[in-house]
Every structure is written in C-alpha cells, then in structure tokens.
Amino acid sequence: MTHSRIAGIGHYVPDNIYTNEDLAKFMDTSDEWIQERTGIKERRFATKHEETTATLGARASRIAIERAGTTAEEIDFIIFATLSPDYYFPGSGVILQRELGITKTEIGALDVRNQCSGFIYALSVADQFIKSGMYKNILVVGAEMHSSGLEFNTRGRGVSVIFGDGAGAVVLQPTDEAGKGILNSELHSDGTNAEMLSLLSPGSHGGYHHDDKEQFGFPDKDQLGEIFVTQKIVDDGFLYPHMDGKSVFKKAVVKFPEVITSSLAAVGKTPADIDMLIPHQANLRISQFVQKVLKLNDDQVFNNIQKYGNTTAASIPIALSEAWEQGKIKDNDLVCLAAFGSGFTWGSVVISW
Ligand code: UT7
C-alpha cells in the first residue's frame, strides 16, 4: 500500500530578533512574566514592506524542495496553512505559487484556515491526495507573519507577547516501502467556544453570535451599510486577536494527550514508543504538562518556543525541521506531531521517519 513520506523539509525565520525586554519598551510587561507563563525568551519579526507571509513560506519551501531532490516545476499541488495571510482573499497559496515561479504548470493551490492545527490538517489532506494517487509531489506549508497584526501596547499584551513570525514547509511524496512514512492522522474540532481564541473582524457576523451587538457599532438591520469593519471595531481592537488564555490552556492540556494517545493506538503504539514528539509550540508550560502526563523523557519532546514564540501554523514544521537538522530525528524513528488551538481544532500525525 502506498504511504506518504516527507521527502524534504525546511524552515525560515526572519533575522530580526525581539527579546522580551524589547517588547517591554512598548507595553507594561516584563521578561519575568513572559518567561514564567510561556517559556518564551525571544521571537522573530519579519521586515515590513519587504516580507509577507507568502514570502516567508516561499523561503522555507525552496529549502524543502531542494532537500526533496525535486524542483518547483515538479510540485503538483500546494497546501498553505496560515491565519495571517497576505490578503483576506485570495489565499496565500496562489501568492506562494507566484513567488516560486510555478504558475506555468497551473497546479492547484489550497488554503487551510485551521490556525494552530493548520499544518496538521494540511498534512493530513496532503496524505490523502498522495494515498489516492491523485498527486505525487505536494508542497505543504505553514507560515505566519503575526507581527503585521498584533497590538503592541498594554491593551494587547496578553496576546502580542506570545506570537512570532516564521515558516516551515515539507514536500510529500509517495513511498511503497512497508511501514514507512505517515502511518496515521487524526483531526478533530469543537466549535462550541469558537470565539474564545478569535479575530472577529473583518467578517460577516454583524454581531449575530454575540449577546451585546452594540459593542461593534454596526448600522441598523434595515440600513444599508458596512458591517465588515466599523470605526468602533477599529477603535475597540476587534481587528486584533482575542484569547481567553486560561480556558484555552485548560482544554489544550486535556486534548493534546488524548489525541496523541489515540492516534498512536490506531497504529498499535503507545506514547512510550515515541522517539520524537513535536507539539505545536503554544506555550512551554503546555508542552511540559503534556510530557509529564505521557511520561516522556526530555529526549522524546522537542521545543523551540523559547526562541521563536508561538508561530501558529508554522510552529510544527519549523520545530520538525530544526529537530531533523540537529540530528534528533533519524531514519525509522517514530515521530508524532500534535496540535491544539483556535476553533477549537486539534489533531495529530504519526510518522515512521
Ligand atoms: O496557540 C494557540 C493556543 N493558545 C494557547 O494555547 C494559549 C494558552 N494560554 C496561555 O498560554 C496562557 O493563558 C497565557 C500565557 C496566554 C496567559 O497566562 P495566564 O496565566 O493565563 O495569565 P492571565 O491571562 O490570566 O493574566 C494574568 C494577569 C492579568 O492581570 P490581573 O488581572 O491578574 O491583574 C493580566 O492582565 O497577567 C496580566 N497580563 C500580563 N502581565 C504582564 C496579561 N498579559 C501580560 C503580559 N505582561 N504580557
């Protein structure tokens, strides 16, 4: 039976390093608060007007494509996961295609909007396309330029100190080698608390999902007028991400172990069999909690949030790429990727490397 294997992997993070002390110049926060709550020491921010989410993705993609021993012209499908796209539409997939100079082949480009678990969703979709025989060389990208839309002041400190910019990419190809490649993937969602980690506007909601409709400053129902963005939305910060951090944290520490354990069980494995767990880098405390619950030792879990912050859809491919570059993932290792975030959506992928 055909499986998908990661034939090439790469990542790119911008050069500009912003430490916690740097952020403290713009808002009432401290290195101590940020490190204690999240483990983050610094993050990278892209250069405005010179870099975009798609260009970050393109840099990671070129490395992945080269390492896969293929060329951009040979890529037969693109899947791009991000919550911070270049434009509201079209999606960044086609912009990436243009950046890579592969428009002549007119291949399809799909955008995935599953935030922190975007890369897991994207990889799982790519895996189905490979297994079905539809495509043979899929570029899967997770990229974020959060710095273009965060509120760098005290009102936004609960969110803005956590996120960073970066991109990771893999090239997925078929393999007939028994027991190799992606062994299983599992995807979940529960929209009950969709607004708990959200960016509400611009959007069509018009207050529909909210008890206090006045808060957005929308025109009356019968009046023609914009509800996509109003002055009140701008003034009151609804253009920025909102996060009920404590509730997200509580749900994450339950769902991470659950989905890791169940996707391993589906292939007859247990957490003890994991050679490397790459958890979405949301918060070092969440990763440490998951590690403890699953009784994993330090060598079995890879974290790099300390250097890059939470890069959402990019965090798993960046961490996977870095772990691989550092020789921490070897041939035949059992690798588990897992994510939880906005939606809520969560999932995991089990790979025999
Ligand atoms: O990747 C997507 C998924 N996201 C997550 O998984 C995030 C999960 N949640 C978390 O990581 C944590 O909840 C946070 C790190 C976001 C926040 O930590 P917390 O311990 O839940 O803090 P909090 O939001 O309850 O805030 C505690 C206090 C508040 O002050 P008061 O009300 O106690 O006076 C905040 O105003 O800390 C204050 N605060 C800050 N202080 C200094 C919030 N942000 C900051 C800040 N610097 N940056």
Do 290 and 167 belong to one domain?
A: no
Domain boundary among 175, 206, 235: 175
Residue 303 domain-assigned (yes or no): yes
Do 106 and 144 belong to one domain?
A: yes
> Percent of the chain having pLDDT more than 70?
100
For the segment 205-223, the average pLDDT, to the nearest whole number, is 88
> Which pLDDT does position 36 carry in this prediction?
98
Residue 139 domain-assigned (yes or no): yes
> Which pLDDT does position 233 carry in this prediction?
94
Model confidence at 214: pLDDT above 90? no
Model confidence at 220: pLDDT above 90? no
> How many structural domains does the chain have?
2
- Tokens 């951090």 belong to 245
Do 23 and 143 belong to one domain?
A: yes
Model confidence at 172: pLDDT above 90? yes
Domain boundary among 144, 175, 206: 175
Structure tokens at 51: 């870099």
The answer to whether 261 and 271 are in contact (CB under 8 A) is: yes
Nearest-CA residue for ligand 1 atom 28 is: 158
Active site residues: 116, 280, 310
Band (156; pLDDT cuts 50, 70, 90): very high
Model confidence at 89: pLDDT above 90? yes
Do 20 and 108 belong to one domain?
A: yes
Do 60 and 95 belong to one domain?
A: yes
Structural domain containing residue 335: 181-194+243-352
Do 59 and 154 belong to one domain?
A: yes
Which H or E run contains 316?
helix 315-325
> Which pLDDT does position 224 carry in this prediction?
81
Do 185 and 155 belong to one domain?
A: no
Do 284 and 162 belong to one domain?
A: no
Do 185 and 331 belong to one domain?
A: yes
Kindly give the distance from the C-alpha atom of residue 157 to the centroid of ligand 1, in angstroms, as a whole number: 8
Q: Read off the pLDDT of residues 11-63 as tens digits, 9 standing for 90 and up.
A: 999 999 999 999 999 999 999 999 999 999 999 999 999 999 999 999 999 99
Band (223; pLDDT cuts 50, 70, 90): confident
- Tokens 């400190």 belong to 157
Q: Give the binding-site residues of ligand 1, using a 6 Å CB cut-off.
A: 29, 33-34, 37-38, 116, 157-158, 161-162, 197, 245-246, 248-249, 252, 282-283, 286, 310, 341
Residue 98 domain-assigned (yes or no): yes
Do 120 and 188 belong to one domain?
A: no
Kindly give the distance from the C-alpha atom of residue 30 to the centroid of ligand 1, in angstroms, as a whole number: 12
Average pLDDT value over all residues in the chain: 97
Distance separating alpha carbons of residues 249 and 252, to the nearest angstrom:
5
Residue 237 domain-assigned (yes or no): no
Residue 215 domain-assigned (yes or no): no
Do 76 and 162 belong to one domain?
A: yes
Point out the ligand 1 atom lying closest to the alpha carbon of residue 157: 48
Residue 307 domain-assigned (yes or no): yes
> Positive or negative, the Cα torsion across 24, 30, 33, 34?
positive
Kindly give the distance from the C-alpha atom of residue 32 to the centroid of ligand 1, in angstroms, as a whole number: 13
What does residue 348 show for φ and ψ, rounded to 5 degrees? -155, 160
Give the CATH number for residue 116: 3.40.47.10
Structure tokens at 194: 């969709």
Which residue from 249, 303, 312 has its CB within 8 A of the most atoms of ligand 1, so it is best to mutate?
Answer: 249
Do 8 and 132 belong to one domain?
A: yes
What one-character-per-residue DSSP string does 156-198 give? GHHHHTTB--EEEEEEEEEE-STT-EEEEEEEEE-GGGGGGEE
> Which pLDDT does position 149 carry in this prediction?
96
Model confidence at 163: pLDDT above 90? yes
For the segment 152-163, the average pLDDT, to the nearest whole number, is 97
Nearest-CA residue for ligand 1 atom 8 is: 249
For the segment 237-242, the average pLDDT, to the nearest whole number, is 94
Residue 57 domain-assigned (yes or no): yes
Identity of residue 259: V
Distance separating alpha carbons of residues 54 and 46, to the nearest angstrom:
12
Residue 297 domain-assigned (yes or no): yes
Distance separating alpha carbons of residues 352 and 337, to the nearest angstrom:
11
